[in-house]
Structure 1
């Protein structure tokens, strides 16, 4: 192939494409169509020139032109920080708001179960005796329960509880797809542990200590776990009763936003971990540390019911943008 002849024949197209790229913000409809057509044509020219290997300078210039034309045709991708901002101001809160009745139900059910366990233990000495010796129980209520929050440095303790809580939340969310049963088990286990601790503390007149140390971080922490469980239950129920949608399609439409919830809860649990590591055991004024926990919880709920409700009403689903609308099936 005579590259000089090829270049001379197609140089007008290249020059025209370059002019359109420079004016891309002021193009008419007809010029936009022309830009797309020339981009496709010059892309073919680039392949021909590149395969000849005769002129690296021309190849480089055409590569740059095609790249700029591609950007003009497809649009520049939004910066990563904008995607992150959109996630935390629209996608994440919208899914939390849309699934609110599921995690509210998980919250009420777990708290009721935990309260029943606590009352049972606090009012039945035989149950208390079965949980340990009088000496071990006394050590727990007098020292061990409170010392748990101060026996490690704040930073390492915060990291530890963050990891543990994130794992519990992930289990509650992901395992819900198995017909909801594992999520119910995770909720029951956490509720029983909380009720057992509260029951022992109240039985020995330490109810104020129990709430004074649980509420600062526990309000936000447990809410995050309940949210994860609620989304997990929604996943499982979608598999059981998908409605008019095909089962796998319905599951995919719920699972993709659920992944976003899991990522968002990492930050929520990080905040509760900071409170547990640096406030619960170290702020000695009870009303102040409980107040910090209440403020964190109120801010989270306000976040869900303001940003989340608005984004949900505007049609935000939390699903992946640009996802395939259909999937190949065996025919």
Structure 2
């Protein structure tokens, strides 16, 4: 994959294959679950110590006697697993330059399609689709097929977010020797020079016969080039001597162009030590910019930018006339590194930093208002249709509830009453489930909106069918009493997430003048802030559903809580801020 850069040069990236990406994912999976096991063990140990030493006075004994010990533990486990699963890849991709521990071990990195680091939005966009891609019954088959049929080995999340996972080349050293093995410098033809460098990289994996033949060829080439070789070389394959002598060897390439080009080549090839020194110096300046950006003066910042420009110029020259040499590969790696540091997230997130987060949420909402309206219409229609079906045939309502819920109904008890006393577990489980459902409704937009519509229809049908069915048991008011505190906010978020999914589906089916990939990427980019805000709002909905909804609180208070939570959510979407603007700007 070749990316053309503004510096009149290019960036060659090698997409990582499915095997290396799967290996990195498995390593990260082991690390994540090891972290979960450590957290669980630490919580068990800590709570047992608190119980044994009564460090919290009368609180801990009361918790343990009431059976809440396991409830607190389960809630912590649920939250820990959910946070680690969601935050682990995003954290490393955003703050560690696109490299998770698994990717680092395998030697791969994730970048955006311009070769820049990932922003928070981009990382979330690519990772939202992982649960969909590895879910049963396909179990990873979807990303495998996607990587096989796409040009740059991209899974669905990469296509939507505009990211690519690339191989990280092995680091190349071009430092100078402290002492010379022979006087002067030796110039070899480019082909022999490349054979020399490849031999040094791979001689440990060569058979003894192959290593001996190649080393003899190289020693003869050095001798023909005028090197005074010592007679007391101890190693039989000359590997030690060749490695030490390489820093005094330089390539030359015969020009097939005009006399002016030949003169230029001769002038530059006589200054290899200076070229190597320039590259090493440039890397040091760029590294200083990365490590101490806030503490650098304007002069130092300008020096780093000039160093990057110099690297790009040297890379263009080396890759054209001396490809595959250590110097060319070192310069290529330095261009990749320098581009990420010099431009970094400042270019990748320029639009993100142009306006406050809530304003971007509002912009995303404006872009998908028609789709949210469609989502709302489908949801309401599903409620009405399922209600009519249960009204006509009451027996149909049994299909909307589980066996446990049916047993509770027959005993005159509503299943929501089981949440009382286990609010911590319920709240944690509800948060995780609601976020999963909402993100799934959004991610399934990649199916052309079909999967999103199925999520909407199933949720609407469940709501309408269950409420109507409970009228047969005169329990609809009890369910309403449970739902009213969190329902406005929770259902609003599901409808909005589904609307975003429909927007993705429409971008896929009707790309206009863009390619389908470009259309989906632009649409996803415009609404990611809305998705992030909605996911965060689901945490509030989960807390309300776990700690407020099941409690014996006056219906009016729950109603006010629900209306207030829903109103704040829609206020942010429509207005783009939480507090009203009290002072108008003077014209």
Fold-level similarity (TM above 0.5) = yes
Q: Report 1:193-208 matches (<5 A).
A: 193-208=462-477
Whether contact under 8 Å (2:360, 2:576) holds in the other structure is no
How far apart are 1:214 and its partner, in Å?
1.4
Separation in 2, partners of 1:212, 1:38: 63
Contact kept? 1:179, 1:240, Cα under 8 Å: yes
Please name the residue that 1:179 is paired with.
Answer: 448
Partner Cα separation in structure 2 for residue 289 and residue 242 of structure 1: 45
- Counterpart of 1:70 in structure 2 is none
For residues 526 and 501 of structure 2, what CA distance do their matches in structure 1 show?
11
1:147 aligns with 2:417: yes
Contact preservation (8 Å) 1:122, 1:203: no
Q: Give CA-to-partner distance per residue, 1:139-192, whole Å, 9 cap, x none.
A: 32731333143252x222111001001111111101111111111111111112
Which residues of 2 match residues 207-218 of structure 1 at below 5 A?
207-218=476-487
How many Å apart are 1:122 and its aligned residue? 3.5
Corresponding residue for residue 549 of structure 2: 280
- How far 1:85 sits from its partner (Å)? 11
Q: Deviations over 1:186-212 (max 9, x none)?
A: 111111221221122123222222222
Distance 2:354 2:308 in 1: 37
1:129 shift after superposition = 6.5
Match of 2:306 in 1: 40
Change over 3 Å in CA distance of 1:266–1:108 after alignment to 2: same
Does the aligned pair in 2 maintain the 1:123–1:203 contact within 8 Å? no
Answer yes or no: is 1:162 the counterpart of 2:421.
no
Question: How far does the alpha carbon of each residue in 1:116-155 deviate from its partner, in whole angstroms, 9 at most, with x for none?
Answer: 2123214433434777899974732731333143252x22
Residues 1:75 and 1:191: Cα distance change in structure 2 (over 3 Å): closer
Report the 3-state secondary structure (helix = DSSP H, G, I; strand = E; otherwise coil) of the residue aligned with 2:576. Answer: helix
Structure 1: state its 5+ residue gaps.
4-20, 25-31, 46-72, 309-331
Contact kept in structure 2, 1:216 and 1:292, CA below 8 Å: yes
How many Å separate the matches in 2 of 1:174 and 1:123? 35
Which of 482, 507, 510 is matched with 1:238 structurally?
A: 507
TM-score by length of 2: 0.38
In the alignment, is the contact (CA less than 8 A) between 2:400 and 2:466 conserved in 1? no
1:42 and 1:139 map into 2 onto residues whose CA distance is 70
- Whichever structure has more helix as a proportion of its residues is 1
TM-score by length of 1: 0.64
> Counterpart of 2:489 in 1: which secondary structure?
helix
Which is bigger in relative contact order (C-alpha 8 A, separation at least 6)? 1
* Alpha-carbon distance in structure 1 between the residues aligned to 2:444 and 2:399: 32
How far the C-alpha of 1:232 sits from its partner, in A, is 0.6
1:305: which partner in 2?
Answer: 574
Q: 1:108: which partner in 2?
A: 377
Structure having the higher Rg: 2
8 Å CA contact 1:122, 1:202 repeated in 2: no
Tell me how far 1:233 sits from its aligned partner. Answer: 0.6
C-alpha deviation, 1:242, in angstroms = 1.4
Aligned length: 252
